[in-house]
Amino acid sequence: MGGGDCGPDERLTLRRATLEDLDDVLTVVLEGLSGDPKFDYRFPHRDEYPEDNRKWLRQEYKEYLEQPEKYALMIMTASDNDDKPVSLAVWDISLGAPHLGGDLGVPDDPNKKVIRRDVNPAHYRQWKKQMTAGFEKYFGKYGIEQLHLWVYIAVE
C-alpha cells in the first residue's frame, strides 16, 4: 500500500473542545463552511446579516459543548497556528439520548415567527427534515449502538 514513513505531525494536537474554545470553534466553522453548498442553501442571507449567522452558529456549537454525554466536539490544534484549532469534528456518541437545545431561531412550525435573518426558513426546515429521514433510512436499521459523525470541518 505504500505511503512511506508518515509519522504523526508533532505540531498537531487532537483534544476534546471545551466552552472556553467556543470562539475558536466558531472561527473554524465560519471559515470552513463558507464555501459549502449546504451552508449556502440554508443561510443564503448570511453575508447581509453576519451577526445573525454568527450568533446562531455560536448557539448551535455551544449546545454541542454543553451536552458532553451526547456529543464529542473534537478539535485539532496546530502549534504553528498559536495552538488554535485548524479542524473540528462533532460526533454524536449517544444516539439514543435526545438533543437538548432550541430551534436555533427557526421553529419547526412554519406558522411561527423565524427570529433570525440569515436563513431561508423553508430550506432550513427541508434540510432538517431530509437529514432526519436520511439518517433513519440509512442508519436506523443498525440501532443506536453506533457513533455518528455529524460534521467535520478543516481550514487551511
In the chain, the domains with their CATH numbers are 13-96+113-154 (3.40.630.30)
Under 8 Å CB-to-CB from 124, ≥6 apart: which residues?
Answer: 42, 106
Alpha carbon distance 65, 73 (integer Å)? 7
Q: What pLDDT score was predicted for residue 7?
A: 65
Residues of the chain short of pLDDT 50, as ranges, are none
> Is-contact 81 12, C-beta < 8 A?
no
What is the Cα–Cα distance from 48 to 87, expressed in whole angstroms? 26
Cell of 63: 449546545
pLDDT of residue 3: 59
pLDDT digits 0-9 by tens, 24-65 = 999 999 999 988 998 999 999 999 999 999 999 999 999 999
Other C-beta atoms lying within 10 Å of the C-beta of residue 156:
5
What is the grid cell recorded at 120? 431561508
Q: How high is the pLDDT of residue 35?
A: 86
Question: What's the pLDDT at 97?
Answer: 93
Per-residue confidence (pLDDT) for residue 4, from 0 to 100: 63
What's the confidence (pLDDT) of residue 119?
97
